Structure formats: structure tokens, C-alpha cells
Amino acid sequence: MPATPDATREIAALRDQIAVPHRTDRPVLPFGVAAIDDQLCRAGLAIDAIHDVAPASSRLSDDAAATLFVGGLAARLTGVHRRRQALWVLTRSDLYAPGLEQAGLTSDRVFFAEARDDAQALALAEDGVREGALGAVVVEVRRAPMVATRRLQLAAAEGGTPVLMLRRWRRAATCPLGELSAAVTRWRIGSTPSAPLGVPGVGRARWTVDLVRQRGGEPFSLIVEACDDQGRLALPAAARDRAAAPERAVARAA
């Protein structure tokens, strides 16, 4: 049975809505690491969107890795947005400011708001997004209803302010990313051993980065070196060498 004109128009409208995440004219923040950017459907982190980040486990080392991953993104986002500040909403006073500074998020780039619970944290985050003058909004929660993430996604899309939702573990056996979310990307970050040095000491920290879900693209996993003091990630040296090998071969052939 052929579709009616009204049904045809509705189908066309739905297709337009579905195609929105694939638009290439919307602002993004490239990671500057080809192994990540090339696998993101918009070649970078969408600025007009909400992004979930969770530790790979309830261990403190993974929690720290996820926090610094978010801190590095917030540092770069505030730099992109003409050095505007980030709002960091939390319910637990356990952030370590010197650690955030090592990831590029210095005290002049961020201010904090402490909420009594997740519901108030989400409300404060939405107010910050809708205010329109922030470079990024970070909100730490243990639980976020689907309705709340939808509201944040709509606010981010309307105002162009990115939301980084740091999902804290509630119980050791319950992954925060098991809950439904309207986030455009969902990341799981864990700590992994750094490369051994030729002298006594500890090398640059390394993280496992798993993109569990992205709207319009495929998931992927890789190991990266942790944020530097500008919030930038890097591939481990061995991976960089493998990535550069085809380029060198092409150059020799030319």
C-alpha cells in the first residue's frame, strides 16, 4: 500500500532528525590524535552535545583516570572558547586541584558548585548550560534519569555548550554506563601500566580509552598516554611508530 502524502512528509522529517548528528558543519573539538579522531563520526568531540565518561571500575586509580580525562577535555574546551571558564558541579568534595592543573585545568579556568544530591547537580548543570557564557559544564553524578540527560542534550544543542557527565560508581558490581542516556558519546576510562623507563622513576601515565557508544558511529578501544599540561592525549611511542610507518613508506616511494 503506497504511503499517503502526510506519511511521506512525516518520514522525511524523521530522516532529517536522524541525520542531524551526522552534519559536518557543527563545531567539534578534535583530540589531535588520528587514531581517535578518524574513528569519531564528526572527526572530534561534538561541542553541542552531552558526553558520558565513566571509570572502567570502582577502583580509585580508574576513578582518577576518568576524572583527569574529563579535566583535560574541559581545559581544552575552555581554551577553544576564548578562555571562558568551565563549571564543575559535584556532590562529593574529593577533587584534587593540583591533579586537575597537571591536566591543564588551572584554577582560573574553572569554578565549582557543590550540590546536595544528583537531582540538584543535574539542575545546576542545566542552568549553567542555558546561561550560555561557559566553555564547558562538568557534572558528577551517581545516577542520571533518561529525562535529565535528554534535557541536557537539548540545552547543549541549543546553546552550543558541551556537557561532560562524569558517572561515579554507586556499587562495585554496577557499571554506571549500564543506565540509558541521551549522550552522543559514552566513554569508559581506566588506568594501565606506564612504559618502563631506562632510569629509576615513573613514566607518563597511560589509560585505556573505550568509546562504548557513539551516535552515528562505531565503538572502539585503544591505549593512550594521559593528558599533558595542555589537556592533550598522545599515542604511546610504539603505536605512533606503527602509525607513521605507512606515511614514511609513501614518502620513500615518492
Band (pLDDT 50/70/90 cuts) for residue 20 is very low
What pLDDT score does 5 carry?
61
Task: Give domain limits for the chain.
Answer: 26-192+200-253
Band (pLDDT 50/70/90 cuts) for residue 227 is very high
pLDDT 10s digits, 124-141 = 999 999 998 999 999 999
Asked if 90 contacts 114 with a C-beta cutoff of 8 angstroms, the reply is yes
What pLDDT score does 93 carry?
87
d(CA 129, CA 132) in angstroms, rounded, equals 6
What pLDDT score does 21 carry?
44
**Average pLDDT over every residue of 70-77:** 97
Q: Which of helix, strand or coil describes residue 136?
A: strand
Give 60's contacts (C-beta < 8 A, 6+ positions apart). none
Q: Nearest-5° angle of CA 156, CA 178, CA 67?
A: 60
Please say if the pLDDT value at position 30 is more than 60: yes
Please say if the pLDDT value at position 204 is more than 90: no
pLDDT 10s digits, 83-121 = 689 999 999 988 999 999 999 999 999 999 999 999 999
Which comes out higher in pLDDT, residue 142 or 17?
Answer: 142
What pLDDT score does 74 carry?
97
C-alpha cell, 60: 580509585
**Average pLDDT over every residue of 27-55:** 96
Band (pLDDT 50/70/90 cuts) for residue 47 is very high
Please say if the pLDDT value at position 213 is more than 90: yes
Strand partners, 152: none
Give 27's contacts (C-beta < 8 A, 6+ positions apart). 46, 47, 48, 160
What pLDDT score does 2 carry?
59
What pLDDT score does 12 carry?
55
> Whole-model pTM?
0.83
C-alpha cell, 65: 583516570
Task: Give CATH for domain 26-192+200-253.
Answer: 3.40.50.300
Asked if 209 contacts 33 with a C-beta cutoff of 8 angstroms, the reply is no
